[in-house]
Structure 1
Amino acid sequence: MAINYLRAVPKIPHPSNLKLTGLHSFSFFKTRRVSLPIRAAATSSSMSYEKELAAAKKAASVAARLCQKVQQALLQSDVHSKSDKSPVTVADYGSQALVSFVLERELPTESFSLVAEEDSSDLRIDSGRETLERITKLVNDTLANSDYYSDSNLTNEDVLRAIDNGKSEGGSCGRHWVLDPIDGTKGFLRGDQYAIALALLDEGRVVLGVLACPNLPLTSISNQHSSHDKVGCLFFAKVGAGTYMQPLDGSSPLKVHVSATENPEDASFFESYEAAHSMHDLSSTIAKKLGVKAPPVRIDSQAKYGALSRGDGAIYLRFPHKGYREKIWDHAAGCIVVIEAGGVVTDAAGNPLDFSKGRYLDLETGIIVTNQKLMPSLLKAVKESLEEEKVSSL
């Protein structure tokens, strides 16, 4: 399936100058309300978020350089285990420190609140000192080789403070940056897909998002005949202004749009690579009900949102196992990237995702992502599959 690109637009218009088309059309509002929380932010605020988006792009791009360096020469000593036993690397900490540093540097006059995955507690104990030293060196080496921050030199304490900026609880008041410094840590460790995912909440609504995907090909991953030699994508979106993709090297951006397919038989779908992250059997049942013929594309991280936003596939299904609570940093950036590309993101009941309740998403069963045309039939298939699963478990 070819990537559905539109011609690059050098200047993104202010939301107030945009006509309501596609996702924001009257007919869409009349039939569904899934995008209202994000669209409401555009109409209730005169802010264009241009400087915030520019800062977010810089932050994610700089962090991606550190992550690429670590992944290319991954040492066993770089891998540690957090209290929840999930793997964490010096790249997680270094990425979070860099994003925090860049945002504060680029937006010095604004109050700074960051909701992020990591904290420095494991680095402050004696056994973490060597790791902290390595993180600080990586951070400073990355800054020294950057285009903007070569004059910066952070101490261990500076790095610890930058990491701990991520302790904010978020919520519905004020502005909060939301960060997953490496979304898809297991993919990162395997040498596969991962993303630096950064979003901004304003009064509880996602108003911009950036996904840096260092290993995602610039061409569609659904096209088996395309060369995947060139990798490294940066997706970015702000409310009311569409979604754009550019190479991580900073080349000109291209506007992208989700797949326009309305026939489920032509729709391919994404799901998590790790079976522990999503119920593959349930996704398979839903796909069969829809009549999807293509096998699932399983990749790690919010790179799935980026790939879907440019039309690589038409559906993303995520159904975590019982008891799992979704975190806002796992979906905030990806959500706006897809919605601004003309897609729809809801829970399994068709409700929009609510990022205003703190660090967690409390939602109905799972997350489904697709285009507007496929959403009604997808919701029906999801509802029927969940009911059948419930009955079979009695």
Structure 2
Amino acid sequence: MDSPYKHELGVVFEVIQVATAISRTVLQSLLPDDAGSAANPEFASLQASLQVLKDDNTFVTAADLAIQAVLLRVLNFSFPTHRLVAEESASQLLASPALLSVVTSLAVAHSRANPFVWAHGGSDLAAHIIPLFNTAAAPQPPAVTPLDPTWVIDPIDGTAAFMRGEHYGINVAHLCGSRQILSVVSLPLLAPGPTTGPITDADTTPSSGGTILFAVRGHGAHQRLSPSLSRPLPRHADALPLAALSSVTCHGTLESAYDTLHAAVAARLDIAFPGTNLLGWVPRWAALALGLGNTTVWVYRRRDRYAKVWDHAGAMLLFEEVGGMVTDVDGKDLDLSRGRLLSGNFGFVAAPRSVHHHVLAAVKTVLQEQGRADLLANNDKI
């Protein structure tokens, strides 16, 4: 695919391969093997060194941290004037010299194995980990200009699923202001080539080479099959019947989700529910791009709950580039210019462009029927 972002894509393709390899190395250490290593004290000690509990009661693993270190270093080396935004802070590394040592060793060893990455910052990566983490975790300006280039990174989306050996995604997005320009997503446990849905988190193929998807705005979404070969992902029909809607969601897992509403919207639209059921948002957006489903609705239980930019930036572009439309529950475009949280938006409604308005109307109707008009914007309330 020819595009004005060929250089940026080339850099990300190299470094995301290293990120994928790091995730596989750590995953093999986190999961017990057939020899019963889960009962081995040494195995338990290794697990403890590779995963820690964060202040928000979620886990972060050595894979998240090592991947973020490599991605930040190569992107900063290659594009030194661009902003960086990433999920993880340096707090766990600063609190645990042992964890910092494990993360540094992982990042350096895998960087050394890739000549491009080693030459593009990998050779002095260890000295930059803490400063780059601090930069990428800093509060972002309240607004950015349309020309401000930014890289947004989610080193592992779906960490809880990753720790169980289920589907997870590695997300790299390039923005100019709030505009998504480029997306590269790695799905290490999804077999390459055509896939049929629905799938769940546990429907993995660990022995496969994984799948890399990418998109550049205005140039479609593609699946990378080799360094010299990719295939365009099929676009949704311009006039899709409502009967062709199919769901991609996460159901019965997250306390923040309004699960009963999601099920009621699906019933109103006569969509099988939950359909393709994936925990991580990045795998969900990828599933929508791959045609494993074509619709997702996400409403939080509270109006003051906001999505995190790294879960969606770039990955949404994959779906948009195959004919999908993404808004919030109020029908507004997603504003990615507000920093680390999508504080100008509430929830998500995504569907093929030709039927998006039907899905959005169903969401608003069900919210009214369930007595939750408080979750609608003021101008939508009766």
**Which bracket does the TM-score occupy, shorter chain normalised?**
0.7 to 0.9
Counterpart selection for 2:362 from 362, 373, 381: 381
Per the TM alignment, residue 351 of structure 1 is displaced from its structure 2 partner at its CA by 1.2
**2:162 paired residue number:** 188
Contact 2:29 2:47 in 1 (8 A): no
2:19 to 56, 63, 70: 63
Select 1:76's aligned residue among 25, 42, 47. Answer: 47
What is the Cα deviation at residue 364 of structure 1?
4.6
Within 1, Cα distance between the matches of 2:65 and 2:73? Answer: 12
Q: What percentage of aligned pairs have identical amino acids?
A: 27
Distance verdict in 2 for CA 1:147–1:259, change over 3 Å: farther
Is the 2:156–2:169 contact (alpha carbons within 8 Å) kept by the matching residues of 1?
yes
CA distance in 2 between counterparts of 1:319 and 1:251 reads 40
User: 1:291-318: per-residue Cα shift (whole Å, max 9, x none)?
Assistant: 1135422112211111111211111222
Deviates most, 210-219 or 305-314: 210-219
> What displacement does 1:59 show?
2.6
Could you tell me which residue of structure 1 aligns to residue 285 of structure 2?
Answer: 305
How far is 1:276 from its partner? 2.6
1:146 is matched by which residue type in structure 2? N
The CA distance in 1 between the partners of 2:287 and 2:372, in whole Å, is 35
**Distance between the aligned counterparts of 1:54 and 1:235, measured in 2?**
13
Contact 2:64 2:156 (C-alpha < 8 Å) held by counterparts: yes
Match of 2:10 in 1: 54
Q: Which amino acid aligns with 1:76?
A: Q
> Which amino acid counterpart does residue 284 of structure 2 have in structure 1?
K
Cα gap change, 1:139/1:103 in structure 2, threshold over 3 Å: closer, same or farther?
same
Identify the residue that residue 8 of structure 1 maps to in structure 2.
none
Secondary structure of the 1:361 match is coil
Whether the 8 Å CA contact 2:108–2:126 is kept in 1: the answer is no
Question: Are the counterparts in 2 of residues 92 and 181 from structure 1 also a CA contact under 8 Å?
Answer: yes
Alignment partner, residue 114 of structure 1: 84
Match for residue 318 of structure 1 among 295, 298, 306? 298
Contact 1:100–1:165 (Cα < 8 Å) also in 2: no
- Indicate the residue corresponding to 1:296 in structure 2: 275
Looking at structure 2, the residues matched to 321 and 245 of structure 1 have their Cα atoms a distance apart, in angstroms, of: 35
Gap runs ≥5 in structure 1: 1-10, 15-47
SS in 2 for 1:217: coil
Aligned to 1:210: 184
1:222 corresponds to which of 194, 197, 201: 197
Cα distance, 1:198 vs. partner?
A: 1.2
RMSD over aligned Cα atoms: 2.5
In the TM superposition, what is the alpha-carbon distance from 1:55 to its structure 2 partner? 1.9
Query: For residue 129 of structure 1, what is the aligned residue in structure 2?
Result: 97
Give 1:161 shift. 2.6
Residue 135 (structure 1) shift: 0.4
CA distance 1:156–1:364, shift in 2 (3 Å): closer
Which of structures 1 and 2 has the larger relative contact order (alpha carbons within 8 angstroms, sep 6+)? 1
Deviations 1:56-113 (A, max 9, x none): 2323222111111111221421110111111110111111101011112333xx4131
Q: Give 1:282's aligned residue.
A: 261
Cα offset for 1:353? 0.4
Q: Is the 8 A contact 2:305 2:346 kept in 1?
A: no
Q: Which aligned pairs between 1:120-199 and structure 2 lie closer than 5 A?
A: 120-125=90-95, 128-150=96-118, 152-154=122-124, 156-168=126-138, 169=140, 171-173=143-145, 174-199=148-173
User: Gaps spanning 5+ residues in structure 2: where?
Assistant: 31-45, 376-382
What is the aligned partner in structure 2 of residue 366 from structure 1? 347
Residues 325-364 of structure 1: CA deviation (Å, up to 9, x unaligned):
2111111011111111221111112211010122111245
Residue 259 of structure 1: CA displacement? 3.9
Alpha-carbon deviation of 1:280? Answer: 2.0
Moved more, 336-345 or 162-171: 162-171
Q: Which runs of 4+ in 1 moved over 4 A?
A: 226-229, 391-394
Give the residue type in structure 1 aligned to 2:197. Answer: S
Q: 1:277 to 1:71 in 2, by over 3 A?
A: farther
| Cα distance in 1 for residues equivalent to 2:186 and 2:5 | 19
1:200 equivalent to 2:170? Answer no
Residues 379 and 162 (structure 1), Cα distance of their counterparts in 2 relative to 1, 3 Å cut = same
2:172–2:314: 8 Å Cα contact kept in structure 1?
A: yes
Aligned residue pairs: how many?
344
Distance change >3 Å, CA 393–CA 331, structure 1 → 2: closer
1:256 is the counterpart of 2:233: yes
Q: How far apart are 1:250 and its partner, in Å?
A: 4.0
Cα distance, 1:177–1:393 mapped onto 2, change above 3 Å? closer
What SS does the corresponding residue of 2:232 show, helix, strand or coil? Answer: strand
In 1: Cα distance, 2:373 partner to 2:12 partner: 46
